[in-house]
A = this chain, B = another copy of it.
Amino acid sequence: MIIDQLNEPVPGTSLLSTPTGDAYTDPEIFAREQAEIFEKMWNCVLREDALASPGQWKTVSVGREEIIVVRTRKAGIKAYYNVCRHRGMRVCTSGEGKSKTLQCGYHAWTYALEGDLVAAPNLTSMPDVDRQEYGLKPVHVRTWLGYVWVCLAEDPPSFDETVLGEVSTRFGEVESIDNYGIEGLRCGETKTYDVAANWKLIIENFMECYHCATIHPELTEVIPEFADGLASQRKNGEIHGASFGDDVEGFTVDGSSGVGSLPAIAPGQDRKYYAITVKPQVFINTVPDHVIIHRMFPVSHERTIVVCDWLFMPEVVEQGLDVANSVELFHRVNQQDFEACELTQPSMSSKAYERGGALVPSEHHIEEFHRWWAERLGGDVPVPAASAAAAVSGT
């Protein structure tokens, strides 16, 4: 059980080790991650307002499965495996649509939006085919922050303890995020990135700012403290947000002013940037006038799709205000980050990385992610020595 060694420091230094390269290159470890993490935890899959009216549906990827998410007439939003119960064909064969029922295009088995089998050729001559039993196989669904979250586990983990728990750990109390009113925001822009890197490299990258000075010139211009390499979550026991530079008017690519201010944010949230990682696949970034949310969809051990939404006040989107400078800032950050991840992935199989890499003090909190990951996988995974005694000031 390599996890037992997680508390040991790298010999001769105070640095902590990362997992060994195998963790990022082994298809079997990736399959375990899909089974034990993505197919057992809550996944944020799409914006709820994308399904505005009853009958609207979209298909999304969760782990290795394709899931239909549909707005029903009476039961709110439901989600199902996109697999006909008869011979298995994809029931929904385009990415999105609107219909009164969900009908398989092969033999016309027809399901209510609420999942039951309601019609099929000669179904009446098969009276022992129970229509609920033979309905679409459902998955658990929740909405929060204006997003639909689904969980494929038969017995899902507590949404409060996992998803909301991550947020309250960051903000001290989950209510602080409520000030941003994310549920009521509108999506002003969505960009999709096809990243040739393991999903864990993307999380690790998001969790530290030691790289900011090197690869994010625009971001460090707006948030000067990031140039010091610290992505501090707390300072002196207080929740810490990263401050805008003195001359900076807004969270935009050139520091020009943004699009106003979200109405309910607290004074301490003004001119501040906060970031939260909601494991396993969501990043939330808040600034005074908008919110940026990343959703990750791992495809293979070396490929991850990342979808990024820029959310603004409804009137900003409705009035068509120019948000290009706001979008451009984090779009560049995304591109810079994902390029770094893609240039890191190939080294993961190198003999020079067979004992893993090193975390500097300002990255030591990433070890918590590695420990969480190893525990989810049962511990028997390639994580080399690392020190738990390494909670370093400022991180």
Contact yes or no, A12 B352, CB < 8 A:
no
Question: A360 vs B211: C-alpha distance in the bound complex, in angstroms?
Answer: 60
The A202-232 residues at the B interface (CB cut-off 8 A) are 204, 210-211, 213-215, 229
**How does the 8 Å CB contact mask read for A67-83 relative to B, with 1 for contact and 0 for none?**
00000000000000111
Asked whether A344 lies within 8 Å of B133 as measured between CB atoms, the reply is no
Provide the bound-state CA to CA distance between A13 and B120, in Å: 15
A358 at the B interface (CB under 8 A): yes
Query: A279 on the interface (CB 8 Å rule)?
Result: no
Whether the pair A88, B121 counts as a contact (CB closer than 8 A) is no
Q: B121–A213 contact, CB under 8 A?
A: yes
Tell me, in angstroms, the Cα distance from A21 to B81 when the chains sit together.
Answer: 14
| CB of A181 closer than 8 Å to a CB of B | no
- Asked if A191 CB lies within 8 Å of chain B CBs, one says no
Which of A45-53, A105-113, A241-249, A283-291 sits within the interface? A105-113
In the A-B complex, list the 10 residue pairs whose CB atoms are closest, starting with the nearest. Answer: A81-B352, A83-B352, A88-B347, A89-B344, A83-B347, A108-B214, A87-B357, A137-B352, A88-B357, A90-B343
A selection of 21 A-B contacts at a CB cut-off of 8 Å is: A13-B126, A13-B128, A21-B88, A39-B351, A65-B350, A81-B350, A81-B351, A87-B344, A87-B357, A88-B347, A105-B340, A106-B214, A107-B210, A107-B214, A107-B360, A121-B213, A121-B229, A122-B361, A122-B362, A126-B361, A134-B358
